[in-house]
Structure 1
Amino acid sequence: MKQFVLVMIIISIFVIYPSYAKANTMPCSMVLEPIDKKLTNAKGVALIYKVQLRPPSFARTNISILGVHLPEPSSFGNYDSYEGFAFIPDEISWRFRLYPTPEQYSPTWAGRWDEITAKMENVEVQVRLSNSKTKKLGPSILRSNIKYCKEF
């Protein structure tokens, strides 16, 4: 009987504890790195955490993105802005506009999305080019994966 209890405790540690640890990875932040290594000054950061909106609603996940020293979007073609883009492969994606700050040269681009209800596993976060008139989403400029998210 003691061996059975010991086996159950060991199984519980390996089965229950990892899923408990995954549930506690928020809040966290990650550095978004440029796809093109020639963009040496371009960087970004994503903050991921739970938000409580309009009570008595349940908590949702927020992704906030900030990108700095990004090239003028038009330097890549028919683009005039940047968007935050996050996705779980083959499941769901979220797309939201990033807004420039008023600096004259090389503005900071920032935005957020507050309505995520999906489990935040295997999430890729990107800053992508966008055409605000045609709603065409362009290629990724910065990116990271939630597995690199650092708790704080």
Structure 2
Amino acid sequence: MKQIVLGIFIILTFVISPIQINATTMPCSMVLEPIDKKLTNSKGTALVYKVQLRPPSFARTNVSILGVHLPEPSSYGNYDSYEGFAFIPEEISWRFRLYPTAEKDSPTWAGRFDEITANMENVEVQVRLSNSNTEKLGPSILSSNIKNCR
């Protein structure tokens, strides 16, 4: 009997452990690092968690982003703002505007998106340049993968 229990325990360890390792527990947060390593002061964070919206419906996932010490968007060309961008490669993406604070020299950019219903595996979260008039999305400035979410 002891051998059967031990055998079941060993099998469950190998079957359940990989699932738990790959799963992202929420809430969690991750540091968004600059793509260009010359932007030593530029950093960001993303908070990922479940929200219950009104009217009562099923829970959805929220991604909130904060970026600090970002370069002036126009220094990269025809851009005037930043957007949060989260995506599952070759499946789906979400983009949302980041709004600057009133700080003069280097505003903090922040925003959120509450409507995600997809499973949050292999999600890349970025802060990207944007042109608010043309809605053109530019290159990524900060980035991280949900695997880094703690």
TM value normalised by structure 2: 0.92
User: What corresponds to 1:130 in structure 2?
Assistant: 130
User: What corresponds to 1:111 in structure 2?
Assistant: 111
Measured against aligned partners, the alpha-carbon deviations of 1:61-114 in whole angstroms (never above 9, x if no partner) come to 110000000011001000000000011111111100000001111100000011
2:95 is equivalent to residue 91 of structure 1: no
User: What corresponds to 1:101 in structure 2?
Assistant: 101
User: What corresponds to 1:53 in structure 2?
Assistant: 53
1:17 Cα deviation after fit: 3.9
User: What corresponds to 1:36 in structure 2?
Assistant: 36
Q: Structure 2 CA distance, aligned partners of 1:132 and 1:139? A: 14
Identity of aligned residues (%): 81
Q: Structure 2 CA distance, aligned partners of 1:81 and 1:44? A: 15
Alpha carbon RMSD of aligned pairs, Å? 1.6
| Residues 24/86 of structure 1: CA separation in 2 closer, same or farther (3 Å cut) | closer
1:12 Cα deviation after fit: 2.0
| Residues 21/38 of structure 1: CA separation in 2 closer, same or farther (3 Å cut) | closer
Look up the SS of the partner of 1:141 in the other structure.
Answer: strand
Question: For residue 149 of structure 2, what is the amino acid of its counterpart?
Answer: C
Contact 2:33 2:42 in 1 (8 A): yes
Report the count of equivalent residues.
150
Look up the SS of the partner of 1:39 in the other structure.
Answer: coil
Q: Structure 1 CA distance, aligned partners of 2:64 and 2:77? A: 26
Q: Structure 2 CA distance, aligned partners of 1:117 and 1:14? A: 29
Structure 1: gaps (5+ residues):
none
Structure 2: gaps (5+ residues):
none
Q: Structure 1 CA distance, aligned partners of 2:7 and 2:124? A: 37
